[in-house]
Chains A and B, each alone.
Chain A
Amino acid sequence: MEVERKLALRHSEGKVSLRAMPESHAQIAFELNGEPCTVGFAPHKTLLEVLREDLGLTGTKHGCELGECGTCTVLLDGQPVLSCLVLGLACDGRRVTTIEGMARGAELHPLQTAFADLGAAQCGYCTPAFLLAAQALLEQNKSPSRNEIKAALAGNLCRCTGYIKIYEAVELAAARMRGEDATAPRESLYGR
């Protein structure tokens, strides 16, 4: 990897000082979406940046990069985390799942199918994060109540849907994952 050292001038109370920019020199080996992965990146980078910029996995989105919106949620060892608050360096040897790893080969995950069928993705920007947070929930709780779904997704903001189609999609997917022959309630698609 090309190691580049940049010098930046910086104002400090009227004086010009020098500040070293960070070196692009860090490497981790981890499991990404079920496959081994080795990646090099600037050590200050967050997992979000490593995924999007160094690995080209742009399915993980960002809304604030301050840990406020939940949009960058990925699974780290199966647990939802805000990838904008996790350093890439902290992921060495760990297991990361992004939206790109959610479908089973060419087949959508039942949550993805339910989100598509019910219109739980409108603009789709927060959708990868909601899907992964919901996946983590369903792996722990096969039959979550509406309130349990709300609690599990309370850290993710969506400005389009009002969350309702998301709850319904999680419930539908959960039923199907339990082996039930479930369909969406008529009123959720056509109203009362």
Chain B
Amino acid sequence: MADKAVGEAAVGRSGGQAVPDPDVRTEPTAQPPDRPTAGALRVVGKALRKVDAVAKVTGATKFADDLALPRMLYCKLLRSPHPHARIVRIETGKAEQLDGVKAVLTGKDFPIPFGILPVSQDEHALCMDKVRFIGDPVAAVAATSEETATAALDLIDVEYELLREIGSPADALAHPEPRIHDYGDTGNLHKLINLEFGDVEEGFAAADVVREDLFFFEGNTHLPMEQHAALADWSADGKVTLWSSTQTPHYVHRALAKVLELPAARIRVIATPNGGGFGGKSDPFSHEIVVAKIAMLTGRPVKITLTREEVFYCHRGRHPTLMWVKTGVTKDGAITGMHFRSLLDGGGYGSYGVASTYYTGALQTVTYQVPRYKFQGARAFTNKPPCGPKRGHGTPQPRFALEVHLDKLAEQLGLDPAEMRLAHLQPPDSLTANYLRVGSMGLGECIRKVTNGAGWKDKFRKLPPGQGVGLACSSYLSGAGLPIYWNHMPHSGVQLKCDRSGGVTVFCGSTDIGQGSDSILAYITAEVLGVDPFDIRVVTADTDLTPVDLGSYSSRVTLMSGNAALQAAERAREIILPHAAKQLDVPAHRLAFADGRVFDVEDPERGMGFAEAVQAAESAVGTVGTVGSYTPPKSAARYRGAGVGPSPAYSYSACVAEVDVDAATGIVRVPKIWVAHDVGRCINAATVIGQVEGSIYMGLGEALMEEMAYRENRHVVHKIPSLLEYKSPTTLEMCDVVTYIVEDPDPNGPYGAKEVGQGPLLPVMPAVANAVYDAIGVRVDEVPITPEKVLKALKKRGKGDEGRVGPTAFPDIPWPEPTRVLPPWEGGDGKAVDQAPTLAGGVREERQH
């Protein structure tokens, strides 16, 4: 594959690249030293400003709600007050008659369904015949003022026939009827998964210790500071433009084309800079489709900005997940087999849920060697706001379970949990039992960094009562190996233009959600062409102007758009090189591109400006423009369900959390966290640190306080959808963070880079839970670890109980027949083993607890 070859040529596992110069370079105008050394990186790895930093600190960045067009209408959505009901009748006449109202739409205006996954096209822009959660949109009004639109909502009369509400997965299991959706694996179970990689029972038989544990991870939400907003404009030549705070303009483009029945070429989607996303703006949303449709109908621009309350209803956040794990280990802590079960509360729609469910079982195998692995996962539909992808997408829940489970196993075996992990790491350049291809693997270094930094050996099980330390590790994808819509096309594309002024413009569909993806394009292009990154113009996230990049999800952007940019820039360099060489009369191989010049490395005085070099090329071959693209390597996995888990590269993190627990109040304080993250290679060290610290912050919130809470008497009513009642860490709760960057370059990453935006969140929750146990000797096997739970556990222990709070049973689930795949070391080829009919072991499995 061409792109892969570029990546390998540029880096290679063995390196050959100089360690990034640690000199602080914060002034964009400062020039790098003027003589390049072979292989030295001049931009990559430096702590530079982001290309949009000045716009952000001056308030100049235009977010979606900052946009306004003449004659703009304001849109409001009427949302269901019922969790589960049939829509009998909607009366919109009075609303339509209100002065200033220009359009009132209902479900019948949107007969075509949509959804992010091809297998879950289960949403309508406005509900057709049924509502599935409190907050489900049933009608839309557009009016000349926001106040009029709001007043008109009150004039819409909706008659509902209430249906039994399904409040929880247990409810969904007990009540297959009424079905929330008329599709899905069975009753109100949306998805059932059963995968087997080797015989786990054989593994348990070979173990010295076999342990089972149950865990629960409460749902939580993204809480981006920017509420979703969208503005649509229709022009009389039949084209629609949508500006939206979306992480995935490409998928919004697809959904609009489908629902509006317009050729995609007539639809332009522009993702405005996202005021925080974290996965919450990754689905195509009702409000985006509604404003586009109203713009088409009225011929006027239409804007909608969701209220904070509505953002809670859009949700798509972390799935509440119940988990059971059984692991066999030998005396030295080597895993002999692992069986993992998860039950996800999906909420009212599919969203990314099928993928989320697979993700709860996918990445258990990439950190420590697991020779035999079995995963069973289920997702239930419930009448609550739909769950979807939040930072870590489906993997923080099982990682919490696994890392606490290992802590318990280590204690049972009398091993140090750090030593136990270090002894059984998944090796680099290896295949896992479920056929994930691990490339570079810096977890060992991460564990050593944080344990040394935290003084682990002097603290673990040695601190005074009430104080404790806990360790946990994790791994995450650098982008999904397969696209959401199966095809052979690139996942990311870049077009690059070099003009005769020396200006360079990079066009890419990638979307900056604050993580710095625009800057990555500039840094990589600057590195290759030797120009100042702040002289590069970056045009992104516009379906009319930029080649497709699938979006800012699954931590894919640095690796994928970075590789595409690298290829486009290398191709531009190749175009320019011979003509510059000819003009300078220097052999092409002796030319370097740096400091805005092209020059002879053996005689740096002999050179020309980058603009002159472009002019030489343009004179000889015409306009200088290139393209680059990236397609991930083919996965080794060939079984059904293997689409979730493969990635070009896996990042690794380790974390030590120190806690103070007040036994009188149950309050857990986290003074400090040490974290090490194997990012492969920093493209910008400062943004890597920023992503790590932000991940620790969000993980701390999930560990201690964040929960998507529903009222106790009715499990379907959101407890108080506000920023005040949804507890998230302020400056007063945030801990100190000591960050270690580990660079184990991966051949698949641009300059070896892997992800950093999501992975470092994962170890925080289990590290805190393990530290709480170290501090006070009780286990809270669910998050968030609230004071109530800590006190409850202490009280139980006071009564002579084991001092544990957490789930006590995993329900019976009608698992399908397993897909059996032999691990690589048992002669498997990545495909499922053909099953003889006699192998049927019954569709229902025995109760485990």
A contacts, CB < 8 Å to B: 6-11, 16, 19, 21-22, 52, 58-66, 68-69, 71, 98-100, 102-103, 108, 112-113, 115-119, 121-128, 131, 149-151, 153-165, 167, 183-184, 186-192
Contacts and interface: CB of A to CB of B under 8 A. Distances in A.
Given A62-B65, A150-B732, A164-B693, 10 more contacts: A52-B66, A59-B60, A63-B308, A64-B724, A108-B57, A121-B50, A122-B516, A125-B275, A162-B693, A162-B698
B731 A100 contact: no
A115 B148 contact: no
A190 B226 contact: no
A179 B54 CA distance: 23
Nearest to A49: B146
A128 B690 CA distance: 18
B186 interface: no
Interface in B14-68: 22, 24, 26-27, 47, 49-50, 52-63, 65-66
A61 B730 contact: no
Contacts of B157: 11
Contacts of B62: 58
Query: Max chain A CB contacts within 10 Å: which of B157, B278, B734?
Result: B734
A156 B731 CA distance: 8
Given A121-B57, A159-B728, A189-B47, A10 B723 contact: no
Interface residues of B, number: 81
B422 interface: no
Interface in B679-695: 685-690, 692-695
A100 B54 CA distance: 12
A159 B307 contact: no
B728 A157 contact: yes
B731 A163 contact: yes
A112 B151 contact: no
Which 3 pairs, one residue from A and one from B, show the smallest C-beta to C-beta distance?
A59-B59, A123-B514, A162-B697
A92 B267 CA distance: 45
Contacts of A115: 53, 56-57
B227 interface: yes
B134 to A, nearest CB: 19
Given A21-B148, A65-B308, A192-B738, A157 B50 contact: no
B225 A119 contact: no
Nearest to B60: A59
A151 B739 CA distance: 24
A84 to B, nearest CB: 11
Contacts of A131: 57
B330 interface: no
B685 A124 contact: no
A24 to B, nearest CB: 9
Nearest to A115: B57
A59 B58 contact: yes
Contacts of B63: 58, 61, 125
B155 A11 contact: yes
Interface string B266-282: 00000001111110000
B722 interface: yes
Given A6-B99, A116-B54, A189-B47, A16 B94 contact: yes
Contacts of A164: 693, 734, 736-737
A16 to B, nearest CB: 7
* Secondary structure type dominating chain B contacts: loop
24 contacts: A9-B94, A16-B94, A58-B59, A58-B65, A59-B58, A59-B59, A61-B225, A61-B275, A71-B225, A99-B59, A103-B58, A116-B54, A119-B47, A122-B690, A124-B52, A124-B514, A125-B63, A125-B276, A127-B57, A151-B732, A162-B737, A189-B47, A190-B741, A191-B692
Nearest to B732: A154
B58 A158 contact: no
Contacts of A127: 56-57, 59
B223 interface: yes
Contacts of B560: none
B182 interface: no
Interface in B704-752: 722-724, 728, 730-732, 734, 736-741
A42 to B, nearest CB: 8
B173 interface: no
A65 to B, nearest CB: 7
B56 A66 contact: no
B816 interface: no
B56 A184 contact: no
Nearest to A66: B722
B154 interface: yes
A190 B63 CA distance: 30
B440 interface: no
A151 B453 CA distance: 28
B100 interface: yes
B227 A63 contact: yes
B741 A9 contact: no
B226 A125 contact: yes
B47 A190 contact: yes
Query: Max chain A CB contacts within 10 Å: which of B50, B100, B147, B686?
Result: B686
Nearest to A126: B225
Given A117-B49, A122-B515, A63 B723 contact: yes
Contacts of A113: 57
B793 to A, nearest CB: 28
B723 A157 contact: yes
B696 interface: yes
B723 to A, nearest CB: 4
A113 B65 CA distance: 26
Contacts of B152: 8
A160 B514 contact: yes
B423 interface: no
Nearest to B685: A190
Contacts of A60: 59
Contact of B50 (A119, A151, A155): A119
Interface in B59-86: 59-63, 65-66
